[in-house]
Amino acid sequence: MRRTLASLWTALKLRELWLIGLFLFVYYFNPGLGTPLYYHMTDELKFSQQYIGILGSISSAGWIFGALLYRRYLKGITAKALLNFSIVFGVASTAVFLLLWNEALAAVINFFSGFASVIAFIATFSLAADYCPQRSEGFAFAMLTSLTNFTSALSDNMGSFLYEHLFHHQLNPLVVASTAFTAVAFAFVPFLRLGDKPPGKAARVLATGEN
């Protein structure tokens, strides 16, 4: 018990873990489109609730396609390249909401958004898992995933606030702001010093602070 508690305390002081946590916060902190997008599709584009539900299924199909594509073509790339790819896809999948005019475009956009989301999920959560220190793996991973969940919720609330109070129910300015925030993550990738490390390979950060 003493060794476990000492490992948990040491994990909280690890520079690598704080650096990964900061990157995940920056990566997921952008004005969220989720709630504003729902009201935009309902009030402005007059989509039916049934079709909005279908769009959710189309987005899930994009997730499946992205997972299959990753397994077939992206599994062998480095963690750094995967992160950069995920940011590129994230910027593109956010910016493309500027073209949201009708139901057909909404279907294509949601499919691409689902595809980009699963690449982001794989890139960031494999990064979090790789840097969990030995003897504190479960605690560290839970802490990092909780941070991403908190940041995602904060982003959605921030996006809703901006949509209602600053952008006066206009979706396009929110899309531009969210795209810009997503692109900021590019600047933080070099600080991770990933080198040629492949995704899924543990960085072997010990609870004593050794690599």
The three-state DSSP-derived secondary structure of 132-165 is: CCCCCHHHHHHHHHHHHHHHHHHHHHHHHHHHHH
Q: Which domains, from first to last, does the chain contain?
A: 7-192 (1.20.1250.20)
Q: Where are the alpha helices (DSSP H) in the chain?
A: 2-12, 15-28, 34-39, 49-69, 79-95, 103-130, 137-161, 171-184
Is the whole model's pTM more than 0.85, yes or no?
A: yes
Task: Give the pLDDT score at 13.
Answer: 79
Residue written as token pair 């794989």: 122
With a cut of 50, say whether residue 192 has pLDDT above it.
yes
pLDDT digits (tens, 9 = 90+) for 100-145: 999 999 999 999 999 999 999 999 999 888 888 777 888 889 999 9
The residue among 68 and 131 whose pLDDT is bigger is: 68
Burial 79-116 (b: 16+ CB within 10 A, else e): bbbbbbbbbebbbebbbbbeebeeeeebbebbbbbbbb
For the chain, the residue count is 211
